Amino acid sequence: MADRIPWDEFEEKYARLFPSGTGNVAKPLRMALGALIIQTRFQYSDRELVDQIAENPYLQYFIGLPGFQEEAPFDASTLVLFRKRISAEMLMEANEYLLDHKDDDKDDPAPPSGEKNSNDDTAKEDTNKGTLTIDATCSPANIRYPQDVSLLNEAREKLENIIYRFCKCYSLKLPRRYRKRARKEYLAFAKSKKHTSKKIRSALRKQLAYVKRDLRYLEQFMSEGYAMTGKDINLYLTITRLYEQQQYMYDNRVHSVEHRIPDIIDEVVKAKVKVFAFSRYVPTGGEVDTSMTPQEYRKLLEICDAKFKAYEAAGCETYFNKKDHLWTLYEYETGQFQLPQNVKDGMIYGGCNCGNCHITIASNGDVMACRRVTDSRVANVFEDRLADVWICQIEKYREYDKFEKCSKCELKAWCRGCPAVANGTTGNFYGADPQCWKTRNEITGEELPCYMRGENKE
């Protein structure tokens, strides 16, 4: 859209509003009009708009800034002047221009010299047609992992918007919400290079306080007889549950809530989802180890297994896919899985498929042993023969006797946990799975080495 609006033409008309040659230089039309377009599109308040533009390089490009800058190009009060100066006629003219030229980019380009025109009767129909199927999970992507502090910050922002809509709807006095201070404290934490346990608890404590204050405001409004809209009620209930879970984890110094995933299972079944599965987060940046302990994770599997069986017995349509390979260990201990007879020594029958029957090809052609192991690139399909890659380069991920713990376990051929989680936590692909609770080989009686919290990457 930024490239389709004739900013220069409208700039000349906008400049006529400033005949005087004295005073401060006015903001350009692209900044003024662009800011109002963004505000209308996303329904930001004046202060929210300024904060978003200060953090988003794409919005800064849209309003005409030459490069990214951390400082806001204007303050919230300036938007009042923008709305006064940009008349309805100017907005209508810009809208009409876009409508008149909406098909300009659809025109077919002129054919290169020496080639036949597409209207030539002798031109052959393009036969390169079909359906392109893309697996997005195999494409490189930077996805923000919803950690506890970021969840609370997002909840706080949504509560502030609910309070604003509440007060605007009923003409109530807007209470003090400390928005700028809360945002500044969150950004200071998010931008810090190393998140120590002390920093995390400090950030959690502050964000919990802000969320608690906002929830108290809403409870006070409702106790006085004011009602929320249907959309805000669902959001309010979700945030209330999130706050309770985060406060529980903070007070008890734990990293999981017993019924968080089981509650998701109930919602999945209610929505009649066809397939449900969950897997563990793979650490990617040397963050503090805040994962579940092995016993906490086993307890979670036990609760989920009971829910799965209850729903299956009730004729539930949802298929519960036990994706994590530690399910094999759990079912082995509970008698649901037994070691087969007459198995061949050295043969792999199940467990992690990395190096066994699986590779990942990214959108740029990079071949990875596993998409969840960030440093597992071994080749590129545009440069290397895939058969050679599978036989040669992938071989280093098939050295099953190198597994520090799994190689000594009777479940080596069927489990092996998740090497991606081990690699992300300790930097060792063949290290012990951080959530594996098995401590002893039940057949030989040999003690198994376990992951010790604090074994960070080198």
CB 282 within 8 A of CB 424: yes
Token pair belonging to 31: 């900044």
* Three-state secondary-structure class, residue 337: coil
pLDDT(454) > 70: no
Token pair belonging to 99: 């409508």
- Spatial separation of the C-alpha atoms in residues 63 and 14, rounded to whole Å: 15
pLDDT(12) > 80: no
pLDDT at res. 374: 79
Closest CA to 391 of 419, 367, 416, 427: 367
Token pair belonging to 243: 């706050």
Higher pLDDT, 34 or 136: 34
pLDDT at res. 141: 42
Name the pTM for this structure.
0.52
Q: Interhelix angle for 148-170 vs 230-252, to 10°?
A: 140
Q: Which residues pair with 319 in a beta bridge?
A: 275
Closest CA to 303 of 268, 343, 258, 341: 258
Taking residues 265-292, report their average pLDDT. Answer: 79
C-alpha torsion angle, residues 400, 406, 410, 414 (rounded to 10): -70
Residue with tokens 């074994």: 455
pLDDT(139) > 50: no
Q: Dump pLDDT digits (tens) for 199-240.
A: 999 999 999 999 999 999 999 999 988 888 777 888 898 899
Q: Which amino acid is at 119?
A: N
Residue with tokens 């968080």: 260
Q: Any residues with CB less than 8 A from the CB of 454 and at least 6 apart, and which?
A: 289
With cut-offs at 50, 70 and 90, classify the pLDDT of residue 399. very high
Exposed/middle/buried for residue 29 (C-beta within 10 Å: 0-12, 13-18, 19+): buried
Taking residues 253-279, report their average pLDDT. Answer: 82
Give the total residue count for the chain.
Answer: 458
Taking residues 60-81, report their average pLDDT. Answer: 87
Ranking 173-177, 318-322, 382-386, 451-455 by mean pLDDT, the lowest is 451-455
Q: Are strands 377-380 and 366-368 parallel, antiparallel or unpaired?
A: antiparallel
- Spatial separation of the C-alpha atoms in residues 225 and 68, rounded to whole Å: 46
Token pair belonging to 378: 């071994």
pLDDT at res. 140: 42
